[in-house]
Every structure is written in C-alpha cells, then in structure tokens.
Amino acid sequence: MADPALRGCRVLVVEDEYMLAVELAIELEDVGAIVVGPVGDLVDAMALIQREQRIDAAILDVNLGGEMVFPAADLLIERGVPVVLTTGYDKSALPSRFSGVALCEKPVGTRRLINMVDHVLSL
C-alpha cells in the first residue's frame, strides 16, 4: 500500500549490502516512492548525487566496504536533502557535524528505515 507522504518522493539508497539494498528498494517502491539507485560505493553515490536534479531524501550506509559515506552525506545536506544514516557503529563514532542527522543502528529493518524517511520528510 502506498504511503501518501512518500508517494512520488525520490529516495536515494546507498547501501553496500546487496540484499538489504534490494529489499529496501522494493519496499520503498511498494509505498509509492521512486528509488534513486541503489548504489553500493561512494564513487557511484557521488556521481548519482551530482547527476540527479531531484532527490527528496536519502538513506546512506555509513561504511561502504571500508569507505565512509560522509562526502556524499555532506553534499546532500548542502543541497537541503534530508538524510537517514545507517550504521553498525555507535553514534559517537560519527563526526559531530552529523549530530542532528537521523540515525538507525544496524541491524535495522526496512520498515523502520521507511518510517525514518517519512519522519525526516515531515520535518
């Protein structure tokens, strides 16, 4: 069933765990969102962010195969895009500039991530 708040929203998914990325993309589409990506590394994420005219929200895995997603998060935040970070790390491991960014600690279910996207879009 489509979630009216997410219907038509363009949500970027950056996740290096293939099965989670696919599951998340399917569930976002099921609630009416348009998935941008998913991509699994920083280079592809940066290219997609620079190429896309419109991104309404983003779900970013902090650690992409040992490379931190922070440059992509910074670029999105500069553009005013609400970001949800996912990580297996404690929040204290994140740079202080991300203290106000929504965070979901792994393991996290796709429903919780979708609810977080819905929440950050309503702020």
CA distance 69 to 11: 16
The reported pTM is 0.94
Is the CB of residue 2 less than 8 Å from the CB of residue 32?
yes
The H or E element that residue 108 is part of is: none
> Has residue 100 been placed in a domain?
no
> Has residue 105 been placed in a domain?
no
> Has residue 4 been placed in a domain?
no
Residue-number span of the structural domain to which 59 is assigned: 47-84
The H or E element that residue 86 is part of is: strand 83-87
Rg from Cα positions in the chain: 13
> Has residue 96 been placed in a domain?
no
Q: Would you say the C-alpha torsion 112, 107, 20, 100 has a positive or negative sign?
A: positive
pLDDT tens series, the chain, 123 aa: 446 679 999 999 999 999 999 999 999 999 999 999 999 999 999 999 999 999 999 999 999 999 999 999 999 999 999 999 999 888 888 999 999 999 999 888 899 999 999 999 988
> Has residue 75 been placed in a domain?
yes
> Has residue 12 been placed in a domain?
no
Number of domains the chain contains: 1
Is the CB of residue 110 less than 8 Å from the CB of residue 15?
no
> Has residue 60 been placed in a domain?
yes
